[in-house]
Amino acid sequence: MKKLDWYILRKFLTTFFFAIFLFAVIAVVVDVSEKTDDFVRSQLGLRRIITDYYFGFIPHIIALLFPLFVFIAVIFFTSKMAGNSEIVAILASGTSYSRWLRPYWIGGALLAVILWFANQYVVPKANQIRGSFEAKYIDANSSYTSILNKANNIYLRIDSFTYAGIYQYDTATKRGGPFFLYKVKQNKVIENLRADYINWDTATKKWKIEQIIERKLLPMKEILVQVVVRQMNYSFKPLDLSRDKYTKDKLTSPELDRFIQLEELRGSEGLNGLKVERYRRDATCITVLLLTLIGAIVAGRKVRGGSGVHLALGFVIAALFIITDRFSTIFSTKGNLPPLIAAWIPNLIFLFVVIYLYKKAPK
C-alpha cells in the first residue's frame, strides 16, 4: 500500500468510527429517555441496567445502521477531498480512477468482514442480553408477550417417523405436561409413550420425563412398560420451543441454521422470515462494500454546493436502498418470493447502480 492508500484509508476509518460513536451516544440518550419509567419499575441499579441491557442494545443498534453510516462517512470525507481539489490533483498526477478507488475497496472489505463476523456471532449474543431484559422488564405487561408466555400446546416432528406434543408448556420454567410421543412405520403406530410431566434438566442437558406409560405394538402382541422417571436425549432443546419475537435475532448463524432445519422438519409456518434473516446476515456485508463504492463515486466529483449536495444525494440513495430492502422482505414473508432472492435483491439492483455510476464518472 502506498501513501495515497494510507491517507484515504485513515480518513475513511476515522470518519466512520467517529460517526458511529456519536450515533451510539445519541441512541443511548434517546433510549434512556423512552425507557426511564421501565428502568425505575425494574428496581435495578445503574450497573445492572448497563450490563443487562445496554451491553446488548449498543451492538444491536450499531449493526442495524452499520451500512448506512459507512455510506455517510464515505460521502462526507470524500466530498471534503473533492471540495479541496485533492481528487482532481490525484487524478491529474497520472493515477487512474480505478487505482484511486483501491483504498475504498480495502476499507469497505475490512468493514464488511467486521460486520459479517458480528452478524454471525456477536450481535446474536448481544440480542440475547437485550431481548431477555426487554421480555422481563419492558414487555412483561404487553398483551403480545403475555400470550406468548402463557402455557402453550406444542406439537413437533422429531424425525421422519417420530411425532411429539407437549401440553401446557411454560417457556420460563421449561416445564410442561402431559407429554406424548409416538412412532409411525408404514402408516401404523408402532410405539406410543405418554408422560405426565416433561422438564429440562440443566445439569445433564437432557429432558426428564415423569410418570411414563410406554406401549410397543408388535405384530402379535403388545408390550406395556411403566416408569417413574426417565432422562431422554431428544433432538429439540428449550430454545427450539421458544415462541417470542426475539428468537431469530438471538440465535447465532449455526444455531439459526439448525433451528430452520428443525422448523422445516416440523412443517412450521413462517419459515421465510427466518430464512430471510439468515441470508441477510451474509448479504448485508456485500451491502457495505457496494455503498462504499457508490459513496466514493458520487462524492468524488466536485460540484457547486459542496458536501450538502453530496449528502442530500446520499440520503436519497440510502432511502431507495432501504425501501427496496423492506419491499423484498414483505414480498417474501407475506408472499411467494424466495427468501434467498429477497435478501439479495437490493444488492443486485445496486450492483448495477455501481456499474452505471462508475462508467459515467469523470475520470
Verify that 11 and 129 share a domain, yes or no.
yes
Verify that 26 and 128 share a domain, yes or no.
yes
Q: Is residue 23 part of a domain?
A: yes
Are 214 and 150 a contacting pair, CB within 8 Å? no
Q: Where does a domain end: 234, 254, 281?
A: 234
Q: pTM of the entire structure?
A: 0.77
Cell numbers 440510502: residue: 318
pLDDT 10s digit of each residue in the chain, 363 long?
788 889 999 999 999 999 999 999 999 999 999 888 888 888 888 899 999 999 999 999 999 889 989 998 999 899 888 888 888 888 888 888 889 999 999 999 999 999 999 999 999 999 989 888 887 787 655 544 444 444 467 878 877 788 888 888 877 778 888 999 989 888 888 899 999 999 998 888 899 999 999 998 888 888 888 989 999 888 888 877 766 666 788 889 998 888 888 777 766 667 888 898 899 999 999 999 999 999 999 888 876 666 677 777 777 887 788 788 888 888 887 778 889 998 899 899 989 989 988 888 876
Verify that 133 and 182 share a domain, yes or no.
no
Verify that 136 and 279 share a domain, yes or no.
yes
Name beta bridge partners: 198: 176, 209
C-alpha cell at 335: 408472499
Which among 164, 213, 165, 208 is positioned nearest to 193, based on CA atoms? 213
**Looking at residue 110, what is its pLDDT?**
95
Verify that 192 and 276 share a domain, yes or no.
no
Verify that 39 and 107 share a domain, yes or no.
yes
Q: Is residue 125 part of a domain?
A: yes
Q: Where does a domain end: 182, 208, 234?
A: 234
Give the type of residue at 207.
W
**Looking at residue 207, what is its pLDDT?**
92
Total domains in the chain come to 2
Verify that 300 and 216 share a domain, yes or no.
no
**Looking at residue 246, what is its pLDDT?**
67
User: Element (H or E) spanning 165, and its range?
Assistant: strand 162-169
Q: Is residue 46 part of a domain?
A: yes
Verify that 26 and 69 share a domain, yes or no.
yes
Verify that 11 and 83 share a domain, yes or no.
yes
Q: Is residue 177 part of a domain?
A: yes
Verify that 223 and 279 share a domain, yes or no.
no
**Looking at residue 147, what is its pLDDT?**
44
CA distance 89 to 99: 14
Q: Is residue 88 part of a domain?
A: yes
Q: Is residue 152 part of a domain?
A: no
Verify that 176 and 124 share a domain, yes or no.
no
For 277, the domain range is 3-140+271-360
Q: Is residue 244 part of a domain?
A: no
Verify that 223 and 284 share a domain, yes or no.
no
Q: Where does a domain end: 234, 263, 292?
A: 234
Q: Reply yes or no: is the peptide bond before residue 238 cis, omega within 30 of 0.
A: no
**Looking at residue 267, what is its pLDDT?**
67
Q: Is residue 281 part of a domain?
A: yes
